[in-house]
């Protein structure tokens, strides 16, 4: 099952958000959460 999230009004640059999204894309939920937990660019 594919999931999609849309967030509007985020005060981050598109480039920084793309770096974070590319890091977690294709990972399972637990692994993506662990990566975001320790990422400084979230």
The rounded average pLDDT for each run of 10 residues, N- to C-terminus, in the chain (42 residues) is: 80 88 92 90 68
Residues 6+ away with beta carbon under 8 Å from 42: 20, 36
Q: What does the pLDDT read at residue 1?
A: 66
Q: From the CB of residue 9, how many other CB atoms can be counted at a distance below 10 Å?
A: 4
Q: Give residue 8's pLDDT.
A: 86
Helix ranges restricted to H, the chain: 14-24, 29-37
The structure tokens 């320790």 sit at: 38
Would you state the torsion angle of the CA atoms of residues 5, 8, 30, 33, taken in this order, to the nearest 10 degrees?
A: 170
pTM score over 0.95: no
| 25's tokens | 């894309």
* Sole residue written with tokens 């890091």: 23
Give me the pLDDT at residue 2, please.
Answer: 77
Report pLDDT for 25.
Answer: 92
Residue 30 has a pLDDT of 95
């Amino acid at each position: 099952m594919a999931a999609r999230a849309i967030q509007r009004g985020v005060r981050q640059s598109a480039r920084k958000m793309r770096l974070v999204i590319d890091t977690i894309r294709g990972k399972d939920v637990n692994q993506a959460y662990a990566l975001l937990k320790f990422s400084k660019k979230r």
